[in-house]
Structure 1
Amino acid sequence: MITALGWPVTLKDLELRLFSGEIATACYLPSSYLYRWRNVLSDQSIAVFELDVRPTDRYLMERFIAGSAAIHTVAATITPAATRTPATHPSLPTVHLTPGDYIPSLRYLSIDIETSFPRNNEPDRLFSIAFFAPDFECVLMLSDAPGDGFEAVPDECTLLSRFLEVISEYDPDVIIGWNFIQFDMAFLRRKFEEYGMPFALGRNGETLDWRTSSQNPDRIFLHTPGRVVLDGIECLRTATWQFESFALDDVAANLLGEGKLLHGDERGQDIERLFLEDKSQLAAYNLKDCELVWRIFEHTDMFSFLIERSRMTGLLMDRMGGSVAAFEYMYLPRLHRAGWVAPNLGDGYSSEKSPGGYVMDSRPGIYRHVLVLDFKSLYPSIIRTFRIDPLGLIVGMLDADSPVSTDLIPGYFGGQFHRQEHILPDLIQHLGDLRERAKRAGNTPLSQAIKIIMASCYGVLGSEGCRFYDTRLSASITKRGHDIIQRTTAYIAERGYQVIYGDTDSVFVWVDHPLSDTEADALGQQLMVDINLWLTNELSREFGLKSYLELEYETHYRQFFMPSIRGADTGSKKRYAGIRAKDNELVFKGLEAVRSDWTPLARAFQKELYRRVFADEPWLDWLKSEVQALFDGQRDTLLIYRKRLRRPLPHYQRSRPPHAKAAAVMDRWLESQNRPARYETRGGWVSYVITLGGPEPIELTTSTLDYQHYLEKQIQPVADSIFQFTGHDFAEIIKQQQTLF
C-alpha cells in the first residue's frame, strides 16, 4: 500500500487484471480529486479505467443495492473532548447499507398546462394549470372572475405562485404528464425566469436542477429534490409500448377507448377561443387531459413497472432508456469479484461490422396451412448456450494459444469463449429464474421489467455507447442465430416440409396437404418436440454443450399470403397476411392495412378483399362496386392522408412531398387571416387529400377530388399484390368501367 506524496491518494495492489491481461492497481481518493488525479496519471502516460463510474453508483452496485436499501448503524464510541479534532464528530454512528426489499407506496399527481398558440414576435401566455389524482382535482385559471370548474387567479405571477402552493399542499412523490418535460416543464421554467421567481418544485421549497444533454440540446434532464418528474411518452417507450402516434389523443383512444375533449389540427385555436369565451369548458378540457394521463399510467401498470425496474437495475425511476447503465450496474460488481477491471469506452474490437438478425428471402404466394415456430428468447438463449460473455471472450482469447483448447467455444470474427470463466450466461439464467418466479406470483410489472433487461443484453453489447462493445460478441450472437435458423430450416426440409419464410427467431412452415385445425396443431407440437431434441443432440455432439434453445409452436394459419416486392418477383420481408386458426382472425403484418401512411380507403379495401379471397367468397362484383362507389363520391371520407412533417416547413425547400405542399397551403391561408402559421416553426401532423389541383388540407379543400389518383395509387397496388398469385388483372377488370368514370 502506497500513499502518493502530496496527494490524499492510496495505491493498493489487488488481484485485478485489465482486459489486456496486465495487473491493475487500485486508487483510493476523495471524489473531489478524481479528475486532477487522472490528469496527473495521464501526464505520465498511465491509463485510468472505470473513472466514469460515479462514486455513489460504485458504492451501491458493489453491494448489489438497487431500488431500496437496509440501513445498519453501530453506535459510535464518544471521543473525549480533550482528544477530539475538528474532523471528529462526538457521537456519529457507523453506518453501512445492504440490499433491501422495500416496495414504496408513492403519491402520484398528474399535471397539464394550457397555453396560447405560439406566434411570431408575441409573448406566449399561460392560461391554466390542471391537477388530477383519484382523490384530488383542481384547475387554476387565469381569470378576472370565478367560474365553474376552476379556481380563478388574476395574473400569471399569481398563477405560478398558486401552482407551487398546490404542489406543496398535495405533496406528491411523483409528478406525471404528457410531453411533460420537453414542453410543460420547459414552458413553466421560462415563465418562472420571466418573473424572476424560483422554480421551487422540490420538497421544502427546493428548486429543481435543470440540465440539457451535451450531445442533444433538446434532451432535458431534471432533478427535483424529494420528487420524481415523469413524462408519459418516455415511460411507455421505455416499457416497449408501440403506437403509430404517441399523441395523447391517439394513445388514449388506443388504450382507453376515449380521447381528449378537443380534437383536430385546430386545437390550438380552439383553446384560445375557449379561454376568451368559455373558461369552464377550457378547465374541463385541461382536467380531462390530466385524467387521461393518469388512466394511461394506471392501465399499463406503469407505476409498478417503474418501481420494479428500479429495484432490478438500480436505475432511478426517471432514468429513461438506460439499457447500457442497467447492464453495467449488474455486470461490473460481478466482473470485479471475478478479478477483472472493465475496459474504457472504445477499447473493444470493431474491425468487422456485426450483422443484424437473419431474415430469409420469402417464397411469395398464397398458401393453405402455414405453421409458425418461434424460438423463445433466442438471443438470451444463445448467450447461455454458447457462453457468450465479455469476460469469457477475453479469457478465451488470452488462452487461445494454450495447448489445451477443450475449454474454448468458437465464436465469430475469430472470437473464442471460455467454457468456465464467464458472467453473462449465469446472469441471464438468474434473470430468467426471477422472471419465472414473478410470472408465477402474478407480478406482471416485474416480469416485464426483467424481460426488457434480458432482451437488451444483446443490444448493449452491440452498442458503441457501452464499454463492453465488441463486434466479436454481437456477431457471435447474431451469426449464431443465422446458423440456427438456417439449420432448422434444413432439418424441416428433411422432414418433408418447406420453410417459406424465416425472420430472426421464427420459421414459417408450409404443410402442403389438407389437414384439420387439430391435426395442424398436433403437427406443430410434434415439430417443436422433434426440433428441440435434434438441436440438443447436435449441440452436444458438435460442441459438447447443453442447449438452452427452446423452439415453441406459436400458431397455425389456415390461409396465408406472402407478397412479393412491388414490381418484382422477389419475396418481401416482414410483410404477410393470414387467417389465424385459433380465433379465425385476419392478421396483417407490415401490409397497407396496418400502415398509417396509407388512406383509410386502402386499408379497408385490403382487409375486405383479402377476407373474400381467403374465404373463397365472390369478390369480382364487389370490387367493381367499390371502384364505382369511389368515383361516385361515396368514399370521400376515406380518402384522407395523414402524415407528419418531422421538420419545420421551411426545411422542405428542394423537394416538397405532398403533405408538405398541403401544409404550405394551410400556412398561407392562416397568414392571410392574420393567424399564426401552423407548420412554419415546428412541423406537425398534416391531414390532406389529393385533388385535381394538387394536395390540399382537408380544412381548405376547394378543388375536385382526384379519384383517378386514389384508384391508381391506393386501390390498384393493394389489388395487384394478391392478384399476382390469383391470376387476375386489376386493369383488365376495371377496363370496362373506365367510360363510366
Structure 2
Amino acid sequence: MNDPVRHTQTPLDERGFLLTRDWRDSRSGLALELWLHTSEGPRALRITGQESVCFYSAAQHDQLATALVGLAGWRTQMLALKCHDGVAVSGLYCREHRIQREAIKLLTAAGVHTWESDVRPADRFLMERFITADVQFTPGPRSRGFIAPRQLRATEPISLSLKVLSVDIETSLDGKHLFSIGLQGLGVRRVYMVGAETADHDGVELVGCLSERDCLDKFLRALRLLDPDILIGWNLVGFDLWMLQRFCDAARLPFTLGRDGKAPRWREEGGDSERRYVHIAGRVALDGIELLKAAAYNFDSFSLQSVSSQVLGAGKLIDHADRGEEILRQYREDKPALAAYNVQDCQLVSDIFAKLKLLDFAVARARLTGLPLDRIGGSVAAFEYAYLPLLHRAGFVAPNLGDVQSDIVSPGGYVMDSRPGVYTDVIVLDFKSLYPSIIRSFLIDPCGYWLARVADFNAELHVDGFNGAYFVKDGHLLPAIIEKLWAARDAAKRADDQPLSHAIKIIMNSFYGVLGSEGCRFFDPRVCSSITLRGHEIIQRSREWIETQGFDVIYGDTDSVFVWVPPDAAEQSAAEVGAQLAQSLNHWWCDNLRDEHGVQSALEIEFETHFEQFFMPTIRGSEQGSKKRYAGIVRDGDERKLVFKGLESVRTDWTPLAREFQTQLYWKLFNGEPFAEWVQAWVASVLAGERDDQLVYRKRLRRKLHDYAKNRPPHVQAALQLDAAGETPRRGDWISYWITVNGPEPVSLRKAASAPSPLDYGHYLERQLLPVADAILPFYGSSFGELVDAQLRLW
C-alpha cells in the first residue's frame, strides 16, 4: 500500500516473491529467515544481528534502568518520537526477542509504559522497508542452505510461476486409520494407498503402500521431489495436514513438510473456534474455504460438493449421506475406485482455484498488505502494516489497545425509514466506497487528529469532525493511503485484473471497520464517529437535495438512496433521470465541500440500478416500512432478473419450499399474472406430500452440542437425536431436519426409519408460506388466508 523506494538492480542482484517469514533467537542475536520464490527456484535468506524493538516513555528512563538492572542484552536510544498524547518516547532495543519479552514483564511490574512490544520482529523489519511481497537482494555468503543478503529492499512485482500441488487424504470415519493421500498438480495425478497394488487406472497413478508409515514416507519423499511452493486443499490445514501430523506422530515419523527438512509449527486458536494455523518453512498452505471467505464469496454451504457444483457444474464421485460407509467399502473392495474419488477431490480444488483465480487473489492481497499469503482475516494487521512505518516517519509511535478511553459511542451506518409499497421505476443512487471517500474528502486520520489536538485550532488549517474531533489539512496519512489504493483499483479495472481489483476493494472498505474496532490499537470513537456521522449527514442531505428536484426518496441504506420516478414526473426515462441526478448530485457535493469545509470532494455518486418493479415490505405485524429488505425486477441486457435483498428467498434459514414459493409468487405479481389459483395449487401439492423434499430445514451448529444447555432450538434437538444415534455432530456442522407431528427429526434418521413420523404440513403452511405470501399480497388486495382457508378446512 506504500510506494517502495526504487532501486537500480545490479547484475548480481536477485528478485523474489516472499513465501514465508520467521524469526528465531540465536547466539549472534535475533535472526530473520525469509523463503522466496524466484525464477531460479526457492531461496532461503537469513538476516542476522537484528534487534527486537519497542518504545517506552523517555521520562521513565531511570525507572527502566532500575527495573532491567539484572537483565543483559538490551540498550536504549533517544528518539525524536512521541506517543499519541504528546509524551516523548525512547527506543528499547533487545538482541533477542526472548530478552524483550522478559523486559516487558519487568517494566510492566515497575509501572513503565511501553508501546509496540507486540509487533513481530520479521513484520517490523519488512514493513519499515516498505516490503510487502516482492523483494530484491544482493546475495552474500551461504551457510547451511541460507543466503546472507547484503541488502534487502522492495521492488516492482515480479513475474510468478508458483508451483502448486493439491492435496487430499481419505481416512476411516473415526479418523483413526489413514487410507490414502491424493496429489494433483505439477504433472501428477497420484494416490498413495495403504494395501493397494501399484498400477495405473484411467489416468490415476495408484501407488501401493505396505503400511500407514510407508504411505506417509512415500508422500513426504514425493513432496521433496515435486517441491511445491503452494499446497492447496479443502479444509487443508484444519483436517488434512493436521491429520497427517497426527498419523506421523503415531508412526514416529518426522513430518518433514518444510523446505528446511523440518516439521511444521502449529498454533491453535483459543476459545470454541478450534481453528488451527500452521507455519511450513518455505511453503504456503492455502485452504479453499478460507480463501473464498476472504474474497467475500457466499455459498449456502462451503462443502466441496456444494461449491464445486455451483462453480464448476461438477461434483464429488461419492455424494450421499452414507459417504463414510461407501469410502470404507471402496477401500476394502474397490481401491481403484477410491483412488479415483481421492484424486477427483484434488482436481475439484485445483479447478475451483483456477476458475475463481483464488491464488491470484491471495497474491494480490499479499502485495497490497504485506501480510503472509496464508493469513486468515487480518484487516487490523493489514492496516497497521501500511500505517506504522508512515506514523513513525511522522514522529509518532502507535498507541496500545485500550490507551484511548471514551464514553462516546460511534453509531453504525444510517438506515432511513422506508415507505412500504409496490412501485414502478425506482432508481438507486449509490455512493462508491462511501466510507473510504469520506476519509479522503474530510481528511479523517488518527495521526491527523493527534496533530490537530496539539496545535492551536485554525478553521483554515483544520477540518471539522464530530464529537469534538477535527483533523489537520496537512500531515495526515490515511487519506493518502486510500487515494493510492483507489487509483490502483481504477488501474486494475482498466487492465481487467479482477483479482487485484477485488482485493483492493475489500482492503479499502475494511479500513473503517478497523478504525471502528476495539480490537485495533488506533480505535478512537471520536475518529470513527467522524466517518459514520458524516455518512449519516451525506445520506440525509442528499435526500433533501433530491426532493428539491421533485422526486421522492422512499428508502436509504448506509451508502445509497432509492428514488421513485413516477410516470408523470419527467419526460425523460427513469434511466435518464438516474444518470442526470447522479451527475448533478456529484456537482452539488463538490461545491458544498469546497464552500463549507475548504476541501476537495472525493465523493462519487453512481447511478447503480433501475428497478422496473420494486417492492418494499412492512415490518411483519405492523404498518411500518422494513429496513434492508426489498425485492424488484432489474434488466440485464435483454434479460429481466428478480432481485431479493434480505427476504426469505435469499436466506438459508428458510426452507427451499418458502424460497421457491416466494420467487414464483413475486414473478407473477410483478408481471400482472393471475395468482389465486396458483397459490391454491401450491398449497394442495404441499398437503398431498408432493413437496416433502422442499420442507427440509438446514441450520448450522454455532456452538458445541453440549453447550446448548437451556435453549435448544429445533436444529439442536435434531442434532441431539443424531448424537444419540452415534453420528456425533460437531460445532460448525450443518443439521438437516424436518418438522414432524412429533417435533424436529433429522433427515437421515427419518429416511432410515421403518415407520417415520408424519410431517407437520400445518407448520409449513403457517410458518413458511403464510409469512411469505402476506408480506406482499395485501398490496394486491388479497391475503393467504383468504385464498386457502377453504382448503385448510377441508384438509
TM-score norm. by structure 1 comes to 0.91
- Indicate if the aligned counterparts of 1:650 and 1:680 stay in contact, CA closer than 8 A: no
Q: In structure 2, the residue corresponding to 1:131 is in which secondary structure?
A: strand
Q: In structure 2, the residue corresponding to 1:289 is in which secondary structure?
A: helix
Q: Distance in 2 between matches of 1:21 and 1:650?
A: 51
Give 1:374 deviation, angstroms. 0.3
What do residues 32-85 of structure 1 show as CA deviations (whole Å, max 9, x unaligned)?
43234445554654322222223332222111111021113699xxxxxxxxxx
Q: Distance in 1 between matches of 2:731 and 2:109?
A: 48
Give 1:654 deviation, angstroms. 3.0
- Indicate if the aligned counterparts of 2:383 and 2:514 stay in contact, CA closer than 8 A: yes
- Indicate if the aligned counterparts of 2:164 and 2:186 stay in contact, CA closer than 8 A: no
Matched to 1:513, the amino acid is P
- Indicate if the aligned counterparts of 1:68 and 1:101 stay in contact, CA closer than 8 A: yes
- Indicate if the aligned counterparts of 1:381 and 1:549 stay in contact, CA closer than 8 A: yes
Corresponding position of 1:357: 413
Matched to 1:420, the amino acid is D
Q: Distance in 1 between matches of 2:321 and 2:782?
A: 41
- Indicate if the aligned counterparts of 2:194 and 2:209 stay in contact, CA closer than 8 A: yes
- Indicate if the aligned counterparts of 2:135 and 2:152 stay in contact, CA closer than 8 A: no
Q: Among residues 95, 114, 136, which one is paired with 1:30 in the alignment?
A: 95
Are positions 1:14 and 2:70 aligned together? no
- Indicate if the aligned counterparts of 2:665 and 2:675 stay in contact, CA closer than 8 A: yes
Are positions 1:631 and 2:696 aligned together? no
Give 1:638 deviation, angstroms. 2.0
What do residues 585-613 of structure 1 show as CA deviations (whole Å, max 9, x unaligned)?
11111111122222222111111111111
Corresponding position of 1:231: 287
Corresponding position of 1:140: 192
- Indicate if the aligned counterparts of 2:194 and 2:208 stay in contact, CA closer than 8 A: yes
Q: Which has the higher strand share?
A: 2
What do residues 562-599 of structure 1 show as CA deviations (whole Å, max 9, x unaligned)?
11111121222111110113441111111111222222
Work out the number of aligned pairs and report it. 714
Q: Distance in 2 between matches of 1:239 and 1:354?
A: 27
Q: Distance in 1 between matches of 2:732 and 2:140?
A: 60
Give 1:492 deviation, angstroms. 1.3
Corresponding position of 2:733: 684
Identity of aligned residues (%): 47
Give 1:8 deviation, angstroms. 5.2
Larger deviation: 47-56 or 647-656? 647-656
Corresponding position of 1:498: 552
Q: Among residues 156, 177, 197, which one is paired with 1:125 in the alignment?
A: 177
Corresponding position of 1:711: 765
Q: In structure 1, the residue corresponding to 2:562 is in which secondary structure?
A: strand
Matched to 2:745, the amino acid is E
Counterparts of 1:656-675 in structure 2, within 5 Å, are 656-668=712-724, 670=725
Corresponding position of 2:43: none
- Alpha carbons of structure 1 residues 694 and 576: separation in structure 2 relative to 1, 3 Å: same
- Alpha carbons of structure 1 residues 514 and 423: separation in structure 2 relative to 1, 3 Å: same
Corresponding position of 2:126: 60
Are positions 1:575 and 2:629 aligned together? yes
What do residues 532-566 of structure 1 show as CA deviations (whole Å, max 9, x unaligned)?
11111222222122111010000111110111111
Q: In structure 2, the residue corresponding to 1:705 is in which secondary structure?
A: coil
Q: Distance in 2 between matches of 1:72 and 1:264?
A: 56
- Alpha carbons of structure 1 residues 92 and 414: separation in structure 2 relative to 1, 3 Å: closer
Q: Cα RMSD (Å) of the superposition?
A: 2.6
Q: Among residues 509, 514, 528, which one is paired with 2:563 in the alignment?
A: 509
Q: Distance in 2 between matches of 1:638 and 1:30?
A: 65
Q: Among residues 49, 60, 76, which one is paired with 2:115 in the alignment?
A: 49
Q: Among residues 380, 397, 412, which one is paired with 1:324 in the alignment?
A: 380
Q: Among residues 722, 739, 742, which one is paired with 1:693 in the alignment?
A: 742
Q: Distance in 2 between matches of 1:419 and 1:592?
A: 47
Are positions 1:435 and 2:499 aligned together? no
Q: Which runs of 5+ in 2 are unaligned?
A: 1-57, 142-146
Larger deviation: 230-239 or 403-412? 403-412
Larger deviation: 145-154 or 60-69? 145-154
Counterparts of 1:171-186 in structure 2, within 5 Å, are 171-186=227-242
- Alpha carbons of structure 1 residues 511 and 204: separation in structure 2 relative to 1, 3 Å: same
Give 1:717 deviation, angstroms. 1.3
Counterparts of 1:383-422 in structure 2, within 5 Å, are 383-399=439-455, 402=456, 404-422=458-476
TM-score norm. by structure 2 comes to 0.85
- Indicate if the aligned counterparts of 1:602 and 1:715 stay in contact, CA closer than 8 A: yes
What do residues 627-669 of structure 1 show as CA deviations (whole Å, max 9, x unaligned)?
222222222332222222334444444343223333344444x
Q: In structure 1, the residue corresponding to 2:396 is in which secondary structure?
A: coil
Q: Among residues 330, 336, 346, which one is paired with 1:274 in the alignment?
A: 330
Q: Distance in 2 between matches of 1:589 and 1:92?
A: 56
- Indicate if the aligned counterparts of 1:63 and 1:99 stay in contact, CA closer than 8 A: no
- Indicate if the aligned counterparts of 2:539 and 2:561 stay in contact, CA closer than 8 A: yes
Corresponding position of 2:480: 426
Q: Which runs of 5+ in 1 are unaligned?
A: 76-90, 671-676
Counterparts of 1:9-408 in structure 2, within 5 Å, are 9-32=74-97, 33-39=99-105, 41-42=107-108, 45-72=111-138, 94-118=150-174, 124-133=176-185, 135-143=187-195, 145-146=197-198, 148=201, 149=204, 150-213=206-269, 218-399=274-455, 402=456, 404-408=458-462
What do residues 482-503 of structure 1 show as CA deviations (whole Å, max 9, x unaligned)?
1111111111122221111111
- Indicate if the aligned counterparts of 2:139 and 2:148 stay in contact, CA closer than 8 A: no
- Indicate if the aligned counterparts of 1:50 and 1:342 stay in contact, CA closer than 8 A: yes
Matched to 1:17, the amino acid is K
- Indicate if the aligned counterparts of 2:617 and 2:630 stay in contact, CA closer than 8 A: yes
Q: Distance in 1 between matches of 2:273 and 2:291?
A: 20
Give 1:434 deviation, angstroms. 1.7
Give 1:144 deviation, angstroms. 5.2
What do residues 93-143 of structure 1 show as CA deviations (whole Å, max 9, x unaligned)?
84343435324311000111111112xxxx711111111116210111122
Counterparts of 1:556-571 in structure 2, within 5 Å, are 556-571=610-625
What do residues 468-519 of structure 1 show as CA deviations (whole Å, max 9, x unaligned)?
1111111111111111111111111222211111111011111122589971
Q: Distance in 2 between matches of 1:11 and 1:143?
A: 63
- Indicate if the aligned counterparts of 1:592 and 1:718 stay in contact, CA closer than 8 A: yes
Q: In structure 2, the residue corresponding to 1:569 is in which secondary structure?
A: coil
- Alpha carbons of structure 1 residues 95 and 595: separation in structure 2 relative to 1, 3 Å: closer
- Indicate if the aligned counterparts of 1:349 and 1:472 stay in contact, CA closer than 8 A: no
Matched to 2:581, the amino acid is L
Larger deviation: 273-282 or 363-372? 273-282
Q: Distance in 2 between matches of 1:715 and 1:217?
A: 36
Q: In structure 1, the residue corresponding to 2:114 is in which secondary structure?
A: coil
Matched to 1:21, the amino acid is G
Corresponding position of 2:586: 532
Corresponding position of 1:86: none
Q: Distance in 2 between matches of 1:684 and 1:58?
A: 39
Corresponding position of 1:80: none
Q: Distance in 2 between matches of 1:462 and 1:380?
A: 13
- Alpha carbons of structure 1 residues 227 and 421: separation in structure 2 relative to 1, 3 Å: same
- Alpha carbons of structure 1 residues 326 and 740: separation in structure 2 relative to 1, 3 Å: same
- Indicate if the aligned counterparts of 2:437 and 2:602 stay in contact, CA closer than 8 A: yes
- Indicate if the aligned counterparts of 1:648 and 1:679 stay in contact, CA closer than 8 A: no
Corresponding position of 1:87: none
